[in-house]
Amino acid sequence: MTPPELSEDLLSAYLDDELDAETRVALDERLAASSEWRTVLAEVRAARDAVRALPRLNLAPDAWDRLVQAVAADAPPPGRAGPARALLRLRRGAASRPVRWVGAAAAAAAVVVAALVLPTPARITPKVATFNNEQSARASVAGDPVSALAGVGLMHGLGR
Amino acid sequence: MNWVRWPALGLAMLGVGVIVGLGPPAPAQPSSNDAETLLHTATTAATHLSYSGVLTVEWSDRGQMHQAETSARIVDGVVEVGEGAQTALSRGGQRWVGSAGNWALMLGPDVPAATPPRPDANWNLQTQPGPVIAGQPTTDVVVSDRRTGTARARYFIDRTTGALLRREVLDPSGHLVREVSFDQLVALGSVAPPPPPSHARRAEPSKLGSVPGGYDAPSTLGRGYRLLGRYRQPDGTVQVFYGDGLFTLSLFEQRGTLDWGSVPSGATRRVDGVAARLVATPTTSAVVWDARGVVITCVSDAPPDQVMLAVQSLVDNASSSSVAHDIAHFVLGPFGWN
């Protein structure tokens, strides 16, 4: 078999156990022999883990717009790079840091996917009457129970 | 009545002479610095007195006064308020709401709150002679704003028993916002207290050591509210409970976006650009709004302006870390880009 060429896609497939047995054996041999391959493998693994560690956000429909606005408006404090500057740094360093670029793209994609694919947040009907009763019950422990609980039976018209 | 707890009571009886009303008498008219003691007595009177009465509840909703009646029965520490489908029952540390065959346990005995601040921690307290209420002479404990000196609440306490007979909450101009007052009062003799419900749906919250990410639970709120407890309701709602020594306040937080059409009618308020609705209930004010994917309902027995101050402080606290900024930080942070 032709020795495999250094490829992040290949290493990603290796981590995901998607390679056939022959390719996997060949890759194991390259990894054992090359520190450069092992370094790249560690970077791919770190990027993959970072993306997978992102929480599944239950985003509002306008979350992406708000994110973009916040990044655009975020002026970095003196001596500290903000997101806009970080993006410039990203461009400059893209050639030398391919794995980070891939990770960033994946992370950004994860946010986009979260915004577009995840179900719309639950529509909440606040149970004002129930909450009133719960608050009154709690208040009646430390205070006068009669005046605290007097409103419990009078919540008609305030929903659940 | 606990005679060991109230050794001065016998002497007071001699001074007062004739005792009419609910039972054994309490100390003679206190001086102004007794206000805190009187308030404490009022909160514990139900534990050793037996009486029943009709309560009038009045409240203001967008400039209109409303009135309703309910009843209360207090027997040896067991308190039953209301009648019909929505009765509240208090027994020890437990609270039930409902009616025969349909009770819900709202509060269990094993999820206490922290001790609140002292009543005078945030308010000026004074006493003065009060009116006769339900046939009982009262002492008026006036609660005033420390900054303005304006009265913001009044507690009318039975001089002979220490029971709270009327509670008024006032707006910044001293006008009535809401009131709970006994109209009629009957001393009960030797009667059995209402029994606990034989069956009740479990609706009590569980205690939380901390609130999950995304929920707000600052240690202080508004003018002097201190965090006293964090709970999770059976439906997942997070409740954060506060007290300032006189008033209490709960934040009920639910993930999602607010269905404004389902919010009871009320007054619209804007807090730092955030739309909120202030809903008047007979004994509380509720403020509902949503921000950062969480719907918050703040319920409090405090004057509405004080509740709005608490909401304001919460919104200010939350806006210092917007969700978009958090997401950007989270996404870019691991790659060294922020």
Residue B337 forms part of a structural domain: no
Residues B302 and A143 sit within 8 Å (Cβ to Cβ):
no
DSSP chain A: -PPPPP-HHHHHHHHTT-S-HHHHHHHHHHHHH-HHHHHHHHHHHHHHHHHHTS------TTHHHHHHHHHHH-PPPTTS--HHHHHHHHHHHTTT-HHHHHHHHHHHHHHHHHHHHSPPPPEE---HHHHHHHHHHHHHHHS-HHHHHTTGGG-TTS--
State how far the Cα of A100 lies from the Cα of B315, in Å rounded to an integer.
36
Answer yes or no: do B275 and B182 share one domain.
no
Both B183 and B218 in one domain: the answer is no
Instruction: Take residue B31 and report the two structure tokens written for it.
Output: 């001086």
Residues 110-149 of A with CB under 8 A from B: 110-111, 121-129, 131-149
pLDDT of res. B1 = 33
Closest CA relative to residue B113, chosen from A133, A144, A135 = A135
B181 and B238: one domain?
no
Which residues of chain A lie closer than 8 angstroms to B79, CB-CB? 140, 145-146, 149
Residue in chain B closest to A124 (alpha carbons) equals B258
CB contact under 8 Å between B257 and A66, yes or no, is no
Clarify whether residues A104 and A62 are in a common domain.
Answer: yes
Domains: count for chain B = 2
pLDDT band at A118 (very low <50, low <70, confident <90, very high): low
Among residues B154, B187, B220, which one ends one of the domains? B187
**Cross-chain CB nearest to B325 (options A57, A74, A87):** A74
Regarding whether B256 and B119 lie in a shared domain, the answer is: no
- Domain of B231 in residue numbering reads as 205-325
Cβ atoms B211, B229 nearer than 8 A = no
A37 shares its domain with A8: yes
Query: Domain residues for A15?
Result: 1-53
Does B191 touch chain A if contact means CB atoms closer than 8 Å? Answer: no
**Given this model, what pLDDT does residue B158 score?**
96
- DSSP codes joined into one string, B173-200: TS-EEEEEEEEEEEE--S-PPPPPPSSE
Which of A29-43, A73-87, A125-139, B188-202 has the largest mean confidence?
A: A125-139
Same-domain status, A106 and A129: no
Touching B: A residues 4-43, CB under 8 Å: none
Tell me, yes or no, whether A3 and A42 share the same domain. yes
Per-residue confidence (pLDDT) for residue A123, from 0 to 100: 93
From chain A, the residues in CB contact with B95 under 8 A are 137, 140-141, 149
Q: Are residues A89 and A42 in the same domain?
A: no
For B31, list phi and psi in degrees, rounded to 5.
-80, 175
User: Region A104-123: what's the mean pLDDT?
Assistant: 66
Tens-binned pLDDT, residue by residue, of chain B (338 aa): 332 233 333 333 333 333 334 554 444 444 456 899 999 999 888 888 999 999 999 999 999 999 999 999 999 899 999 988 789 999 999 999 999 889 999 999 877 889 999 999 999 999 999 999 999 999 999 999 999 999 999 999 999 999 999 999 999 999 999 999 999 999 998 888 989 999 999 999 999 999 999 999 999 999 999 999 999 999 999 999 999 999 999 999 999 999 999 999 999 999 988 999 999 999 999 999 999 899 999 999 999 999 999 999 999 887 765 544 455 445 544 443 43
Q: A129 to chain B: which residues are within 8 Å by CB?
A: 281
Taking an 8 Å cut-off on Cβ atoms, the answer to whether B334 and A83 are in contact is no
User: In this complex, is the C-beta atom of B300 within 8 Å of any C-beta atom belonging to chain A?
Assistant: yes
Domain shared by B75 and B171, yes or no? yes
Instruction: Please tell me if residue A78 touches chain B, with a CB cutoff of 8 Å.
Output: no
Are A107 and A160 in the same domain? no
Of all residues in chain B, what percent are helix, strand and coil, respectively (each to 5)?
15, 45, 40
CATH number of the domain at B283, please. 3.30.200.100
Q: Which residue has the tokens 């992040």?
A: A8
- Does any CB of chain A come closer than 8 Å to the CB of residue B189? no
Express each pLDDT in A37-60 by its tens digit. 888 888 888 877 777 767 656 555
d(CA A6, CA A41): 10
Domain count for chain A, please give it.
3
Q: Is residue B332 part of a domain?
A: no
Place of tokens 């995840």: A118
The radius of gyration computed from the CA coordinates of chain A, to the nearest angstrom, equals: 27
Cβ-nearest to A152 among B97, B237, B254: B97
- So what's the pLDDT on residue B14? 33
Instruction: At A145, list the tokens.
Output: 């129970």
For residue A93, which residues of chain B lie inside 8 Å, CB to CB? none
Domain end (from B187, B213, B246): B187
What are phi and psi for residue B79, nearest 5 degrees?
-115, 130
Same domain membership, residue B213 and residue B155:
no
Q: Is residue B96 assigned to a domain?
A: yes
- Asked whether residue B212 falls in the same domain as residue B167, the answer is no
Integer CA distances (angstroms), A145 to A58, B18, B45, B92, B165, in order: 40, 28, 10, 11, 12
Asked if residue A18 and residue A70 are part of one domain, the reply reads no
**In whole angstroms, what is the distance from residue A138 CA to residue A132 CA?**
10
- Whether chain A has a CB inside 8 Å of the CB on B208: the answer is no
pLDDT of A13: 80
From chain B, pick out residues whose CB is under 8 angstroms from the CB of A48. Answer: none
Tell me the chain B residues in contact with residue A125 when contact means C-beta distances shorter than 8 Å.
259, 262
Q: Does residue B2 sit within a domain?
A: no
Chain A CB contacts of B233 below 8 Å:
134
Same domain, B215 and B270: yes
Residue B267, SS3 per DSSP: strand
- Residue B193 domain flag: no
> Does residue A117 share a domain with residue A60?
yes
Instruction: Say yes or no: A3 and A45 in one domain.
Output: yes
